[in-house]
Amino acid sequence: MELEKPLVLREQGDAGGAGGQVQFVPRSASMDDRDPASGCLHEKKRLPAFTWEVRANNRSYHMQFKKKFAFCLTKKKYAGNAIKTAKYNILTFLPLNLYEQFHRMANIYFVFVILLQTIPEISTLPWYTLLFPLSCLLTIRALRDLIDDIGRHQSDRNINNRPCEILSGKSFRWQKWCDICVGDIVRLRKESFVPADMLLLCSSEPSSLCYVETADIDGETNLKFRQALPVTHWELMSEGSVAAFDGRVTCEEPNSRMHSFTGTLQWRGETYSLDSERILLRGCKLRNTDFCYGLVIYAGFDSKIMRNCGKIKQKKTKLDRMMDRLVIIIFLVLLAMSLCLAIASGFWAKTFQEKHTYLSAFYKHTAPAKQAFFSFWGFAILLSIIIPMSMYITFEFIYLVNSFFINWDLEMYYAVKDIPAKARSTSLNDQLGQIEYIFSDKTGTLTQNIMSFKKCCINGTVYGPNAAHHRGQSRSGYWLWQQQEMPFAVEHGFLTTVGSGLTWSHRAEKMSDSNDVALLEAARRDSDPVLREFLRLLALCHTVMVEERGDQLVYQAASPDEEALVLAARDLGYVFLSRTQDTITISELGVKRTYEVLAMLDFNSDRKRMSVLVRDPQGTIRLYTKGADTVILERLRSRGPSETFTERALDRFAEETLRTLCLASKVVSEAEYCEWSRRHQEASILLQDRVWQLDSLYEEMEQNLELLGVTAIEDKLQDGVPETIQLLKLGNIKVWVLTGDKQETAMNIGYACKLLTDDMEILEEKEVSEILEAHWVRNSRSSSRKAPGSRCLSQQHPGTSCHKKRALIISGDFLDKMLHTGEVLMKKEGWLWQWLPCRGAMDPQEQGSLVEKAFVDLATSCQAVICCRVTPKQKALIVQLVKKHKKATTLAIGDGANDVNMIKTADIGVGISGLEGMQAVQCSDYALAQFSYLQRLLLVHGRWAYLRICKFLRYFFYKTFAGLMAQVWFAFHSGFTAQPLYEGWFLALYNVFYTAHPVLSVGLLEQDVSAKKSLEFPELYAIGQQDELFNYRIFGVTLLHGVSTSLASFYIALWAFKDCVGSKVVGDYESFSVTVATSALLSVLVEIILDTKHWTALSFLMVTASLLLFCLFSYLTQSIDAFRIAPAIFRFPDASQNALTDPYVLLVVLLSLVVNTVPSLTVRSYHAITGRRSIQQKICSKARREPEPSVELRAHVHRGSFRRRSSYAFSHQEGYAGLITRGDSLRTKGTCATGALHPQGTAPPSPSCHGPSP
């Protein structure tokens, strides 16, 4: 099915200009427009029409437009900026919450029983006695939901009430975020957040550049730049001109595509094209820019980040869903039993009337059919307590207390920032013990986004930690450098440095405190020309900006990688001081030197390198280049011993998962430069193929290089990440990394955190396409016999062993093509769709489902999956696909707003409380300060919670069946009259006081192994993944166990009471009832005692309390005084005292207890004799074997893979070199950003005469 193509603007004329005519060309829809819940495209989102028109400073224009949203209802087309993430308000809380609660089958069941109790003819208990516990249950859950929603309201209120400056009339006034409307002009100041998606009009920076940090959106702290149109930059020079601005923006409708924007600005009769480089997204933070003005394009829920947040979903655990099904099953069984007993009642009544005709007067108005009808409803009410409301109330209490245990765990308390773990949802704890897949963000979740310069190799000499033991392998020897972390680790994109006035001797004294003795001494001697050029390159070849603030230098870098290198050079005596459009000044060991910048050869993801062409003070022209080893080594002039050793150092750095850069240089002759510069100038003004021509010239210049050395930077992981991932993998949990970062960086982090290992085969997009193609070819041949399967996917790749470890690494674009349009390998004429079996009989949705399933089956067969360059909606879609096709329990963990949709989609959402804001935390179910705490959350708290809830359910059902099924057996001996066997008070208190406390202690405190053992043996976690502790089989066994206990208790007592014998001639109905009740109660308590593994003082207290409460309430409800006051309510006067003081009755109770306990002891003995080991025995056996090797942060096995070394340290975006050489990013000294944006009379700068801009 071919989609209609929307339109995208393409500018004609000068590619670098801002003006010119525009035309429209087709553009395909993206995967971002898919609904993660369904995995399908929505027609309305598929065709983003250019009908969104924004007029500056014209609120009345936007207020007049309406759009339909439900039936005939309408709302404003242009949303306000106020957001509302809460579910309820004052009016909707009660009806909406009740509606959600009655989605639980148990609540519907309880209401049904209460309605039956209101009918006097069939009622066995007053209806209000059942309404009260149901009201308590609904109230407890409603209060929990209300508390959660109040937190959302407070968060919404805090965000909506943030202050901002909005243009009102001729001046700006301080108002709130919620007051912003589409078309308003907002003034933002430094360090403030962007309140809505805005078109940048102008800023205080040169050429109206604007630096933003997107940490609150994607967790990345490196700076990104946006630039206003030149026309708005020069024309909007004051507040008055901004107030008079009446431009009109026409663009695409609001959508979720974070990295794209297409539109036009029409102003003063001219049309200017707009793209994402002109847009400031909501949630960005203004950095290194004093202030800027922006025109609001999308506000509130129309903004891109809010479009990616998804909806709040009602989450239910697997046990919750199973309980709903069990309630239905039990209810149907209950109705069947009631029907059978009612039919038997009718037959019994008919037989009785026929046999005893002399009593016909008593049955004159009671026909057998009528008797059966009322008996049916009587039995339905009598047996309804098999599903007690007290179980659900206790359920909620156990969930709440287990959540407190998570909050109180000091092992998950991050003292550095005073952040404890927090269970924000109290109803998902048991699901923490059943996780099969973890989907993790990278930046800010696995890493700290802090770059630290760790090692380097210069002219065959390695400097860095742990290098001394390799001294004999180098011509120059090794020296120990940086025993601890370097002091110039970078965070937040800037760092204040010591001013340029400091002398070299002062620096040397400062550096000696850092143990950089070897490298420091070598730099101080200044005798090695290669080392001198190496450090000079670090100080010259970069796009870092510097600003003087008093006697301080403040570096502003586009990426933490670059700043780490510049700071390393600074601390070794080569200090970057200042730059202009065509010069750069550095201090070399205290001597200031100014270099003329002839050209900057910018970085991009294809080139994987950047270069700078400079003329030194002596007039020599040099090219300095840094980049990935895969592109630098192949451009070297020659390969000698130094280069060979440097390659070995690269391998070692790669084994240590460090991000590497190769540094090289060469001398360029004057004649060569003049010729190259002329051609470069010609290529720079081309209208067509400009980028290709420039890349060819760059390639020509960057040849015959001389290798200087290698740098190694550590992208610092959070503490304990490798150990945590290793433990999770041992616990049979698969970890997928979903990141918006580039593939090289993601792979590097994958190796660093042990997600990827040396023995894994890496499947990239080409291999995935081949495997899927072979899979469909194979299945198409057998399509007539069976549906396409995926069991052979792991063997499709040539040369791949079915048991070889594999990892899958793909990009968001590849996912888009494969899952959305089926365009993978379209050069083969759409093989993917051609090989689909029965494709002629399938609709596109079914075909897409088969493609999705094949991909998911392949991905889940791999030990690790890394998805790069994925959008927030793609993250959520991947989670949804695994849930849909594998029926797996998923957990998503992230720290930024781009992770919110993924967190909401997963079964469990975990937010990291970090530096990047609180959006992820506010939408999460659990909040942690560090990724490493995940191991304790899952392997300890999650497994314990699952164990406790399963045991609680098992024994609650057991004690209910054991105690109350005797009602059914009694019916066979009471004429099927639905007469209760037990005293009414015993029925009311059995589940509330007599047996609730021991089961409650199991639900709160039970442990099979300690927390230490749980972490030491993560394999135990698989029990929850396989649903071993509570499933339909376990429920069936529990049912049979409870029925057998009730049978033994009832019929042993019936056998004993068949003849009226005993010292007190006890044989009445009341004594029989007390005997059966006591036998069942003690049998239940002994069974719980036998199966409790972890005994505490509270456990003993609970069992003791149950017995004492049974004695106490039996005495109170069966006293003579109570009977005299209300004989209709207290119907068993002195029954327990008469029965339980008779030795004969006590022997009967003892016999019942022995008969009920012997089977449990027999089963345990059988398991011990036949060798079926318990969990503790398995642990002891494993502990006696050779222990598992400890998890290490660094691997020391030689990879021998040249491709592995492609993880280079370069993470900033393309375009910074052009900004510098054009002078756009350079601020003139003394420029004061006050009052007007531009001083009156300021003219645009004239073109530079020092060299062409790239």
Which DSSP string do the residues of 1024-1072 spell out, in sequence order? Answer: HHTT-SSSHHHHHHHHHHHHHHHHHHHHHHHHHTSS--STT---SHHHH
* Among the listed residues 905, 906, 938, the one whose alpha carbon sits nearest the alpha carbon of residue 1024: 938
Q: Which residue has the higher pLDDT, 114 or 176?
A: 176
Q: How far apart are CA 562 and CA 14, in angstroms?
A: 31
Cβ atoms of 386 and 330 within 8 Å: the answer is yes
Q: Which helix (H) or strand (E) holds 1013?
A: helix 1011-1016
φ, ψ for residue 242 (rounded to 5)? -65, -40
Q: How far apart are CA 979 and CA 973, in angstroms?
A: 10
* Range 565-589 average pLDDT: 89
Cβ atoms of 569 and 576 within 8 Å: the answer is yes
Q: pLDDT by residue (tens digit) across 744-792?
A: 778 888 888 888 888 888 888 888 888 887 777 766 555 544 444 444 4
Name the pairing type of β-strands 761-763 and 734-738: unpaired
Which of 57-66, 473-482, 1224-1233 has the highest mean predicted lDDT (pLDDT)?
Answer: 57-66
- Alpha helices (runs of H) in 120-238, residue ranges in sequence order: 127-160, 215-218, 230-235
Report in angstroms the alpha-carbon separations of 423 from 439, 500, 911, 926: 19, 50, 11, 5
pLDDT above 80 for 1222: no
Cβ atoms of 977 and 345 within 8 Å: the answer is yes
φ, ψ for residue 41 (rounded to 5)? -85, 135
Q: Which residue carries 């005994």 as its tokens?
A: 1095
pLDDT of residue 616: 92
* Among the listed residues 986, 954, 993, the one whose alpha carbon sits nearest the alpha carbon of residue 1088: 954
Q: Which two tokens stand for residue 1098?
A: 């509270």
Q: Which two tokens stand for residue 139?
A: 């109230």
pLDDT-derived band at 1155 (thresholds 50, 70, 90) equals very high
What is the amino acid identity at position 550?
G
Q: How far apart are CA 280 and CA 286, in angstroms?
A: 9
- Alpha helices (runs of H) in 782-822, residue ranges in sequence order: 812-815
* Among the listed residues 260, 196, 348, the one whose alpha carbon sits nearest the alpha carbon of residue 27: 260
pLDDT-derived band at 1158 (thresholds 50, 70, 90) equals very high
What is the amino acid identity at position 967?
Q
* Among the listed residues 715, 744, 810, 460, the one whose alpha carbon sits nearest the alpha carbon of residue 609: 744
pLDDT above 70 for 514: no
Percent of the chain with pLDDT over 70: 77
What is the amino acid identity at position 920?
A
pLDDT of residue 359: 65
Lowest average pLDDT, out of 305-309, 438-442, 1151-1155, goes to: 305-309
pLDDT-derived band at 476 (thresholds 50, 70, 90) equals very low
pLDDT above 80 for 606: no
* Range 416-434 average pLDDT: 90
Question: Facing residues of 705 across strands?
Answer: 636
Q: Which two tokens stand for residue 217?
A: 């959106």
Q: How far apart are CA 401 and CA 421, in angstroms?
A: 14
* Range 859-888 average pLDDT: 89
Q: How far apart are CA 558 and CA 543, in angstroms?
A: 7
Cβ atoms of 1251 and 582 within 8 Å: the answer is yes
Q: Report the length, in residues, of the chain.
A: 1254
Instruction: Quickly count: other Cβ atoms within 10 Å of residue 801's Cβ.
Output: 11
Q: Which helix (H) or strand (E) holds 505?
A: helix 504-511
Distance, first Cα to last Cα, the chain? 43
Q: Which two tokens stand for residue 557?
A: 């870098």
HEC string for 369-408: HHHHHHHHHHHHHHHHHHCCHHHHHHHHHHHHHHHHHHHH
pLDDT of residue 508: 34
Q: How far apart are CA 744 and CA 735, in angstroms?
A: 18
Lowest average pLDDT, out of 381-395, 471-485, 603-617, 885-899, goes to: 471-485
Q: Which residues contact 22 (CB under 8 A, 6 or more apart)?
A: 9, 10, 11, 12, 264, 271, 273
pLDDT above 80 for 798: no
Name the pairing type of β-strands 461-464 and 479-480: parallel
Percent of the chain with pLDDT over 90: 29
pLDDT above 80 for 43: no
Burial (CB < 10 A; 0-12, 13-18, 19+), residue 335, is middle
What is the amino acid identity at position 92?
T
- In sequence order, what DSSP letters do the residues of 629-645 get, joined into one string? HHHHGGGBS---HHHHH
pLDDT-derived band at 1215 (thresholds 50, 70, 90) equals low
Q: How far apart are CA 1033 and CA 1043, in angstroms?
A: 15
Q: Which residue carries 């340290």 as its tokens?
A: 1209
Q: Which residues contact 620 (CB under 8 A, 6 or more apart)?
A: 667
Q: Which two tokens stand for residue 882?
A: 């695994």
Q: Which residue has the higher pLDDT, 103 or 502?
A: 103
Lowest average pLDDT, out of 120-134, 203-217, 546-560, 995-1009, goes to: 120-134
For the chain, how big is the Rg over CA atoms in Å? Answer: 38
- CA angle at 1079 for the pair 1074 and 1084, rounded to the nearest 5°: 125
pLDDT above 60 for 497: no
CA trace torsion 721, 727, 733, 736 (10° rounding): 20
* Among the listed residues 586, 491, 504, the one whose alpha carbon sits nearest the alpha carbon of residue 546: 586
Cβ atoms of 653 and 1204 within 8 Å: the answer is no
Cβ atoms of 306 and 282 within 8 Å: the answer is yes
Lowest average pLDDT, out of 533-547, 995-1009, 1159-1173, goes to: 1159-1173
Q: Please enumerate, as own/partner, the contacts of 111-120 that have beta carbons within 8 Å and a separation of 24 or more.
A: 113/380, 113/381, 113/384, 116/377, 116/380, 116/381, 116/384, 117/381, 119/377
Q: Which two tokens stand for residue 1034?
A: 């376990």
Mean pLDDT across the chain, nearest whole number? Answer: 78
Q: Which residue carries 């897949």 as its tokens?
A: 437
Burial (CB < 10 A; 0-12, 13-18, 19+), residue 795, is middle
Name the pairing type of β-strands 864-868 and 890-894: unpaired
pLDDT above 60 for 595: yes
Q: pLDDT by residue (tens digit) across 1025-1063?
A: 989 899 999 999 999 999 999 999 999 999 888 765 455
Name the pairing type of β-strands 734-738 and 864-868: parallel
Q: How far apart are CA 125 and CA 115, in angstroms?
A: 12
Cβ atoms of 908 and 432 within 8 Å: the answer is yes
Instruction: Quickly count: other Cβ atoms within 10 Å of residue 224's Cβ.
Output: 18
* Cα 1191 to chain centroid, rounded: 24
Q: How far apart are CA 476 and CA 466, in angstroms?
A: 16
Report in angstroms the alpha-carbon separations of 881 from 36, 39, 450, 1087, 1102: 8, 7, 33, 43, 46
Instruction: Quickly count: other Cβ atoms within 10 Å of residue 853's Cβ.
Output: 18
Active site residues: 441
Q: How far apart are CA 560 and CA 222, in angstroms?
A: 6
pLDDT of residue 509: 33
Question: Facing residues of 414 across strands?
Answer: 419
Q: Which residue has the higher pLDDT, 310 or 387?
A: 387
Instruction: Quickly count: other Cβ atoms within 10 Å of residue 412's Cβ.
Output: 24
Q: Which two tokens stand for residue 265?
A: 């600005």
pLDDT-derived band at 16 (thresholds 50, 70, 90) equals very low
Q: Which residue has the higher pLDDT, 1119 or 1199?
A: 1119
